[in-house]
Structure 1
Amino acid sequence: MSIQADIIEQIEKFKTIIIHRHEDPDPDAFGSQAGLAEVIRNCFPDKNVYQVGENNASLEWITTEDKIDDKVYDGALVIVIDTANTPRIDDQRYKKGAFLIKIDHHPNDDAYGDLTWVKTDASSSSELIIDLVNNSNGKLVLNKKAAEALYAGIIGDTGRFMFNNTSAHTLRVTAQLFEFGIDAAWMNRKLDEITPGIAKLSAYVWDNMTITEHHAAYIVLKHDLIKNYKLGAAGTAPIVSVLGKIDTVKCWTLFVQEEDGTYRLNIRSKGPIINGLAKEYGGGGHPLASGAKMDTLTDEQLKEYVAKLDKIAATYTGEDND
């Protein structure tokens, strides 16, 4: 029996299903979570299906979350999607259920769960949900609402098909979603839109970013600066790609100071493998898109980090990295 069949068997078995995803959610976290929830609701209307975690005002066009009591977890199936490791799971009550499933496309460095389905060559967790449906022998089916959420997730993690994680399979399953009459153009525009605050902060980043000798780039955004632009820490998400728009930049890091003084590191690349660097700082992720956290960021710590990032850029041969 395949892992997909095992997952579907558990979905069929449980009356209550609670779906979690990672903190600081992006479109794929919301899209895969909401897409799976809607598929289950559509096919099993007698089940109680919840999706939990903090809401994100900028992504409420994809979905909004449920607020549930601890007692709902009693005897429940918990599915955690799009989350590589347990510290990043939004709402740590995920451990309170009767059975735990992990579905993800990040490297499986933390193989938690009673069932674990990880496929790192998938473009997104949303793509995996479509695969789950397609391999269910008709037990799961898509509808328009699920298709909309899953499309948002796919275009989020592929950069509207600009990133090299876009495969022929990605485009085939995306084509399925179009058959439901989704407004793909509207969703593409939603992901491309920025607020006036983001536009001004983008200009600040381009004016103040540093590019190293070997074409790595970085900038540190302090919490007080972000407040001036009326953005929460999560509101800086559209800024992550800004540094990489410079044609000579190979890899880059956006340091975002949180309200508690710690730093969130958004590490990205056009080719050099950077997830090893993320792991050095307690994080991880994809070869070309990773994240990490630092409790402090002294001048010496910044200098040490940037030297490592620059070395990665310096040793890059220009070969494709999938």
Structure 2
Amino acid sequence: MTVFQAILEKIKAYDTIIIHRHQRPDPDAIGSQVGLKEILKTNFPDKKVLATGINEPTLSWIAEMDEVAYQDYEGALVIVTDTANTPRIDDDRYSKGDFLIKIDHHPNDDAYGDLLLVDTTASSASEIVTDWALTVGLALSDAAARVLYNGIVGDTGRFLFPSTTAKTLHIAAKLREYDFDFSAMARRMDSFPFKIAKLQGYVFDNLEVDENGAARVVLTRKVLDDFNVSDAESSAIVGTPGRIDTVQSWAIFVEQPEGHYRVRLRSKSIVINEIAKRHDGGGHPLASGANSYSLEENDQIYQEIKDTVAHATH
């Protein structure tokens, strides 16, 4: 039995299914989670299917979460999408169910779960969920197609990232056959508030770039407060340094209320996720996250980026 089929059989065996995703969600986290929920609701209308996690205000236009009670986990199947490791799972009740399935496209460094579907060649968890549903013969709905397409577009950077394959485009084309407002979705994903535009200006003005294209910028609490931007909203500028032709890899250090820094690492072609792993993080080869607990560690991370880029370009 294939993993695809094994997941389908587990779903058929449970009356209650609760779907989790990672903290601080992006469009793929919500797209894969809610897309799977909509698929299961369409094909198994008698089952109780719930999506749990904190509602992210900046992404409420994609979908919102359900109210999930502790008793819902009794004898339930739990599925976690788009989450590489257990500390990042939103809602720590994921372990309270009867059986746990992991569906993900990140490197499988934390092989949690009783049944795993991990495909690091996929552009997104939304691509995996769609591929799974189409392969096992489940019907999709317009609502499922909408959020899954959002997830793929989000994690491929509108099909610009190297993770975009012929299979990605084929699956996206299948989703576009369904009835949802593609243009409105695209406009929403491509727009941002005026305050984010101003923050982008700050990033360009304060970006530090070395001779090889390694770059960094620090967003302190004062900067975020001055621009009236939350930590979640600041994710909108993560790709900003990469629009500069000479920038190859970059880090955005975002100061947290507790005093440490959330580090967003990105790269055009040079692998940087090993740097993230050394600093309480991880992720994709070209898109990772880490944590820094001092200004000295900030400098250390930037030095590692500079060394990595210098080694790759010489």
Same fold? TM cut 0.5: yes
What is the Cα deviation at residue 60 of structure 1? 1.1
Q: In the aligned structure 2, how far is the partner of 1:179 from the partner of 1:304?
A: 48
What is the Cα deviation at residue 212 of structure 1? 1.7
Letter in 2 for 1:23: Q
Q: Kindly report which structure 2 residues correspond to 1:50-89, keeping only aligned pairs within 5 A, or say none.
A: 50-89=50-89
Letter in 2 for 1:252: W
Task: Report what 1:210 is aligned to.
Answer: 208
What is the Cα deviation at residue 228 of structure 1? 2.1
286, 293, 313: which one pairs with 2:309?
Answer: 313
Does structure 2 retain, via aligned residues, the 8 Å contact 1:205–1:219?
A: yes
Q: In the aligned structure 1, how far is the partner of 2:70 from the partner of 2:103?
A: 23
Task: Confirm whether residue 48 of structure 1 aligns to residue 48 of structure 2.
Answer: yes
Task: Report what 1:18 is aligned to.
Answer: 18
What is the Cα deviation at residue 30 of structure 1? 0.5
Tell me the TM-score normalised to structure 1 length. 0.95
What is the Cα deviation at residue 275 of structure 1? 0.4
Alignment deviations for residues 249-273 of structure 1 (CA, whole Å, 9 cap, x no partner): 0000001111222211100000110
Q: In the aligned structure 1, how far is the partner of 2:6 from the partner of 2:102?
A: 12
Q: In the aligned structure 2, how far is the partner of 1:237 from the partner of 1:167?
A: 25
Letter in 1 for 2:73: Y
Q: In the aligned structure 1, how far is the partner of 2:291 from the partner of 2:303?
A: 17
Q: In the aligned structure 1, how far is the partner of 2:261 from the partner of 2:298?
A: 11
Alignment deviations for residues 75-117 of structure 1 (CA, whole Å, 9 cap, x no partner): 1100000000000001111010000000000000000000011
Task: Report what 1:115 is aligned to.
Answer: 115
Alignment deviations for residues 34-62 of structure 1 (CA, whole Å, 9 cap, x no partner): 10000000111111111011111111111
Does structure 2 retain, via aligned residues, the 8 Å contact 1:84–1:106?
A: yes
> Deviating runs (4+, > 3 A) in structure 1?
none
Alignment deviations for residues 249-308 of structure 1 (CA, whole Å, 9 cap, x no partner): 0000001111222211100000110000000002111110011112x222x322222111
Task: Report what 1:171 is aligned to.
Answer: 169
Q: In the aligned structure 2, how far is the partner of 1:223 from the partner of 1:90?
A: 24
Q: Percent identity?
A: 49
Task: Report what 1:190 is aligned to.
Answer: 188
Task: Report what 2:134 is aligned to.
Answer: 134
Q: In the aligned structure 2, how far is the partner of 1:315 from the partner of 1:264?
A: 25
RMSD over equivalenced CA pairs, Å: 1.1
Q: In the aligned structure 1, how far is the partner of 2:71 from the partner of 2:221?
A: 37
Unaligned runs of 5+ in 2: none
The alignment of Structure 1 onto Structure 2 pairs a total of residues equal to: 314
Q: In the aligned structure 1, how far is the partner of 2:303 from the partner of 2:263?
A: 15
SS at structure 2 position matched to 1:268: strand
Tell me the TM-score normalised to structure 2 length. 0.98
Q: In the aligned structure 1, how far is the partner of 2:176 from the partner of 2:115?
A: 31
Task: Report what 2:153 is aligned to.
Answer: 155
